């Protein structure tokens, strides 16, 4: 039975009879839960794993790396994909469980508030929409989870590729200028201040050519790591890309 039919039957019963006994309430609650689970099990055009795989494939296709260079680190890149697919599955599973509990909680709260004998003038359409709202908002929530995990995946892929290609530092770029983007003020400040972070154990760091002023990239969260963060790193590869105050005497001598 559909969610709509279960709720129609339940609202009709309680508007006419009110909360009479726990057995009847349990029967309606169990029927509603079964209908929700059935609804959520419907096949989709593309599952979250497929969507992340498509994003991964597009990322590699757009990459400026040659095929041989990609193959050298493909195991690390694919490991990041699989990690994000697993995380997405878990987050969506937990969100579905939360939504089911929320709907059942709303229903039980509503049903037990109706006195014995019922209330004839209940707006059933309004109540029905309020109770099932959480479930029908799930596709949007799932989309947000997938988009967030995709950004996290791409941020980590960029880091893996940058380090493999000899990046020595990174500059934080916030999307705070994007209209309607709910950016984090500290991230905007890092962007505006143009702070540059050293990549620990990069070739330049190991050779004593650069020094950290603002810290290391592994001392802080990555761009895109926090929920719904759209920041990215711009990676720097040459000593001349850095301000002079970040270069040691040895490093400065190599830039003359």
Q: How far apart, in whole angstroms, are the C-alpha atoms of residue 200 and residue 90?
A: 32
State CA 115 to chain mean position distance.
43
Residues of the chain with pLDDT under 70: none
* pLDDT for residue 72: 87
Nearest CA-CA partner of 112 in 25, 26, 32, 30: 25
Neighbours of 253 (CB within 10 A): 10
Q: How far apart, in whole angstroms, are the C-alpha atoms of residue 91 and residue 143?
A: 11
Q: For the whole model, what pTM was predicted? A: 0.83
Question: What dihedral angle (degrees, nearest 10) is formed by the CA atoms of 137, 56, 80, 232?
Answer: -80
Q: How far apart, in whole angstroms, are the C-alpha atoms of residue 140 and residue 138?
A: 5
Strands 232-236 and 196-198 turn out to be unpaired
* pLDDT for residue 74: 92
Find where tokens 């469980």 sit: 97
Is 201 in a helix, a strand, or coil?
coil
- Looking at residue 173, the DSSP 8-state letter turns out to be E
Q: Which residues touch 29 (CB under 8 Å, ≥6 apart)?
A: 104, 107, 108
Is 171 in a helix, a strand, or coil?
strand
* pLDDT for residue 1: 73
The domains of the chain are located at 3-145, 166-254
* pLDDT for residue 243: 94
- DSSP letters along 83-122, please? HHHHHHHHHHHHHHHHHHHHHHHHHHHHHTTSPTT--TT-
Q: What is the pLDDT of residues 8-43, one digit of tens each?
A: 999 999 999 999 999 999 999 999 999 999 998 887
């Amino acid at each position: 039975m559909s969610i709509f039919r279960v709720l129609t039957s339940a609202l009709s019963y309680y508007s006419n009879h009110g909360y009479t006994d726990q057995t009847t309430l349990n029967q309606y609650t169990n029927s509603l839960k079964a209908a929700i689970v059935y609804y959520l099990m419907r096949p989709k055009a593309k599952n979250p794993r497929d969507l992340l795989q498509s994003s991964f494939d597009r990322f590699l296709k757009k990459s400026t790396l040659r095929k041989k260079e990609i193959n050298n680190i493909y195991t690390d890149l694919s490991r990041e994909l699989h990690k994000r697919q697993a995380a997405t599955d878990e987050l969506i599973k937990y969100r579905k469980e939360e939504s089911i509990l929320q709907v059942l909680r709303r229903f039980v709260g509503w049903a037990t508030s109706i006195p014995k004998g019922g209330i004839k003038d209940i707006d059933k359409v309004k109540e029905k929409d309020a109770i099932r709202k959480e479930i029908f908002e799930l596709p949007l929530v799932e989309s947000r989870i997938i988009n967030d995990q995709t950004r996290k995946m791409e941020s980590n892929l960029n880091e893996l590729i940058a380090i493999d290609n000899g990046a020595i530092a990174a500059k934080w770029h916030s999307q705070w200028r994007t209209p309607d983007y709910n950016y984090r003020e500290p991230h905007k400040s890092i962007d505006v201040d143009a702070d540059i972070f050293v990549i620990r154990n990069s070739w330049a760091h190991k050779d004593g050519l650069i020094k950290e002023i603002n810290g290391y990239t592994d001392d802080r969260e990555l761009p895109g790591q926090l929920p719904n963060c759209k920041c990215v790193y711009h990676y720097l590869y040459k000593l001349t890309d850095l301000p002079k105050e970040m270069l040691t005497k040895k490093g400065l001598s190599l830039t003359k």
